Structure 1
Amino acid sequence: MEENKHVTIYDIAEKLNLATSTISRALKDHHSISDKTIKKVKKAAKEMGFVPNTLAAGLRGNKTKTIGVLIPTVTQPFLSSLISGIEITAQKSDYSVIIMQSHDSYHDEVNMAKSLYSNRVSGVICSLAMETRDTSHFQQFSNNNIPLVFVDRVPKDYNTFRVVIDNYSAGYKATKHLIEQGCLRIAHLTAGSEFGNLYNERKRGYVEALRDHNLPVDEDLIIDLKAVTYEEGVKASNKLFDVKPLPDGLFASGDIIAVSAVQTAKKRGLKVPEDIAIIGFNNDPISQIIDPNLSTITHPAEKMGKAAADIIIKNLKSAKNEDVQEIAFLNTEVLVRESSKRKES
């Protein structure tokens, strides 16, 4: 046999002088094939190095047992934990996972969606790119009964499965924590309203917490970032620390933004938390490395990934189309660390 040649059922059939249909059935333990023949076929297949082509089999049946995952990047701790949750659940049901990164580009997201569709994935899990406003490129999945689940960054007006946290409640809790620490001028660094509903909801929670505690909502203390990056966080922090009087509390809508604020504050001679108490969002690993350790809001990424994969698999196994549902995880928590702790609880 030629080197690097893939062994097929035709090769096994030729060696054993059997029909290819017999080989195919024997490899699947079909009841129409005798135990003796099944053993003989499987032994020959093993000796010859035969590996089943699951992709080709999937294409014939129009099911590849593959879940496509389309996310902005694999480098963010939240998204890597999300992927881990998806893979854990997928593997338990013998599904494989294809991961594609949009790098927060709408154009790339459209092309990646096309690629996933052409690869005939069984289902799709997506966290939207920052640039995405039009979600019509996902219609190809919905139109062909391919289950689609949006996670975390979800569109406002697309009727499909969603796995989210209660971002409003989380934003409210973060701001309330700062108020309980004695903060009266609380700032908010956010990704901006144009970047999707989750940041809007966190901001809405921030605003409502201030109003419920009779504190003013000062627009000078709310800064929209162009991107959720350390560099943009530094720019926004410097702008914020030029405001007079200075804010004494800060809720950042992501840990990387909060970390940039902590380091910028220290460079400007401000003490954290004495001069300004800071809390982030996500509980990324960096939150426990920065000095002082960063207070943050937990974000159950792995659990969300497991839930999204579970929705896909249950939907594929179901004989009937289930009603579209939204799963909201309400169990985000405030993790109090040194960056915001002014009072003993």
Structure 2
Amino acid sequence: MKDYNEVTIYDIAEKLNLATSTISRALKDHHTISKKTIAKVKKTAQEMGYRPNNLAASLRSKKSKAIGVLLPTITQPFLSSLISGIEIAARKAGYSVIIMQSHDKHKDEVDLTKLLYDHRVSGVICSLAMETEDAAHFQLFKESAIPLVFVDRVPKGFNTYRVVIDNYIAGYKATKHLIAQGCKHIAHLTIGSEFGTIYHERKRGYLDALKEHNLEVDDKYVIRVKEITYDEGARAVKKLLSLKNKPDGIFAPGDILGVSAIQTAKKMGVKVPEELAVIGFNDDPISRIIDPNLSTITHPAEKMGQAAAEIILNSLKSKTKDDIREIAFLNTEVIERESSKRN
């Protein structure tokens, strides 16, 4: 069987001894073609591995080049900045960017990978959906030698390019900052499954910082949220502040969760930072608007986007297969603001 990229309507026409115009119309369910012929053409096309090549003419003439970007959403500031970095690098190289959103749904992510493949994108950059626990649907890109880069939310056990920060160190730094401010009972909000690595690693950094300073590790202070939203943050913080022994610090692995923690605490009569110190993650614009301003961890989204796009572009230019590699941005830093500043 020929490779997907090699099978054309001419191949199907030759096999069935039909005109190419008949094949083209049959594949589009044209009313001038009998149902019997349509069924025969589609069955043969499937057996031969044919896929509709929506951008074939433009790609053959090299007038249109596109990088597919598949993200949970474009509304989060971190992901918006990531897109900006991708677009800047792609545009300089003469490539366009196709952006699709999974809305953190596994099924949508699977469907969108197929759609990107059918559009014959030159490469794919993806940050996994929260629901995703199996990356098998990305295998079609690897099998077709289409460069694939995972950014930020990356899968375990899938050998391809990655652009990440050291989430373990970042989680450790955030927790150590709260410890340095005198916090003794530090809570943590964690997210998602163990398949995606970033929140697992931030949690691991949190736990190791507590152990290193001989502080209590208590399961009741670790709350799993379903998604990174204000309402989920409020639900988790209400639960924490209803405990008999309330936490005196919260590490939230997303700024919207940190903002929710501050406002929920204030509504419950808990003073921030005097009674509850809070640190978020990403340095989103909202962290500088909330009162008190939210302490946070830097997350170089635009640089990560540029790095991901450059991996795609370099891979497309290379005549030899590059070794799979990971680019890690290690210089995440604590930005100390009023929400955690006690000393």
What is the aligned partner in structure 2 of residue 104 from structure 1? 104
Using structure 2 for the length normalisation, give the TM-score: 0.82
- Contact 1:62-1:120 at 8 Å conserved across structures: no
Aligned to 1:12: none
Root mean square deviation of aligned Cα:
1.5
Q: What does the per-residue CA deviation read over 1:253-287, in whole Å, with 9 as the maximum and x for residues that have no partner?
A: 11111111100100011110000100000111110
- Give the whole-Å Cα distance in 1 for the aligned partners of 2:97 and 2:271: 46
> In the superposition, relative to structure 1, how do residues 127 and 323 fare at CA in structure 2: closer, same or farther (>3 Å)?
same
Shift of 1:213: 0.7
| Counterpart position of 1:165 | 165
Residue 167 of structure 1 and its aligned partner are, at CA, apart by 0.2
SS in 2 for 1:293: coil
Spell out structure 1 runs of 4+ moving beyond 6 A. Answer: none
Q: Tell me the matched-pair count.
A: 290
Q: Which amino acid aligns with 1:174?
A: A
Question: 1:190 deviation in Å?
Answer: 1.3
Q: Tell me if the contact between 1:64 and 1:122 (Cα under 8 Å) persists in the aligned partners.
A: no
| 2:41 aligned partner | none
Correspondence 1:73-88 to 2 at 5 A? 73-88=73-88
TM-score after normalising by structure 1: 0.82
Query: Are the counterparts in 2 of residues 90 and 309 from structure 1 also a CA contact under 8 Å?
Result: yes
**How far apart, CA to CA, are the structure 2 residues paired with 1:171 and 1:252?**
10
Query: Residue 292 of structure 1: SS of its match in structure 2?
Result: coil
Tell me the alpha carbon deviations over residues 125-164 of structure 1, each in whole angstroms, 9 at most, x when there is no partner: 0000011112111111100100000000000011000000
TM-fit CA distance, 1:60: 2.6
SS of residue matched to 1:91: helix
2:98 alignment partner, SS class: strand
**Shift of the alpha carbon at 1:245?**
1.5
Partner of 2:269: 269
Equivalent residue for 1:6?
none
Gapped runs of 5+ residues in structure 1? Answer: 1-53
Could you say which residue in structure 2 is the equivalent of 1:93? 93
Deviation at 1:173, TM superposition (A): 0.1
Q: 2:174 is matched with which residue?
A: 174
Alignment of 1:306-321 (within 5 A): 306-321=306-321
Amino acid across the alignment from 1:100: M
User: How much has 1:59 moved relative to structure 2?
Assistant: 3.3
Query: Counterpart of 2:327?
Result: 327
Q: How far is the alpha carbon of 1:63 from its aligned partner?
A: 9.0
Q: Which one-letter code corresponds to 1:155 in the other structure?
A: P
- Structure 2 distance, partners of 1:207, 1:241, is 20
Are residues 1:296 and 2:291 paired?
no
Assess if the C-alpha contact under 8 Å between 1:294 and 1:338 holds in 2.
yes
Cα deviation digits, residues 204-250 of structure 1 (max 9, x gap): 00000001111110111110011111111111000000112111111
Shifted more, 59-68 versus 196-205: the winner is 59-68
Structure possessing the higher radius of gyration over alpha carbons: 1
Distance 1:72 1:192 in 2: 13
- After TM superposition, the structure 1 = structure 2 runs for residues 204-283 of structure 1, keeping only pairs within 5 Å, are 204-283=204-283
2-structure distance, mates of 1:322, 1:86: 20
Tell me the amino acid that sits aligned with residue 161 of structure 1: Y
For structure 1, which segment, 56-65 or 118-127, has the greater mean C-alpha deviation from structure 2 after superposition?
A: 56-65
Give the partner amino acid of 1:121.
Answer: V
Residue 24 of structure 1 is matched in structure 2 by: none
One-letter code aligned to 1:339: S
Give 3-state SS (helix, strand or coil) of 2:323's partner. coil
Counterpart-to-counterpart distance in 2, 1:98 and 1:117: 12
Equivalent residue letter for 1:110 = V
Aligned to 2:46: none
Match of 1:188, SS state, is: strand
Q: What residue is the counterpart of 1:7 in the other structure?
A: none
Report SS of the residue matched to 1:282.
Answer: coil
- Corresponding position of 1:197: 197
Residue matched to 1:152: 152
**Cα offset for 1:56?**
4.9
Unmatched segments (≥5 aa) in structure 2 = 1-53
CA contact (8 A) 2:131 2:192 kept: no
> Aligned pair 1:60/2:60, yes or no?
yes
| Whole-Å separation in 1 of the counterparts to 2:195 and 2:314 | 31
Q: What is the alpha-carbon distance in structure 1 between the residues aligned to residue 79 and residue 262 of structure 2? A: 23
Identity level (%) = 69
Q: Secondary structure at the match of 1:278?
A: strand
Aligned equivalents of 2:226 and 2:130: distance in 1? 10
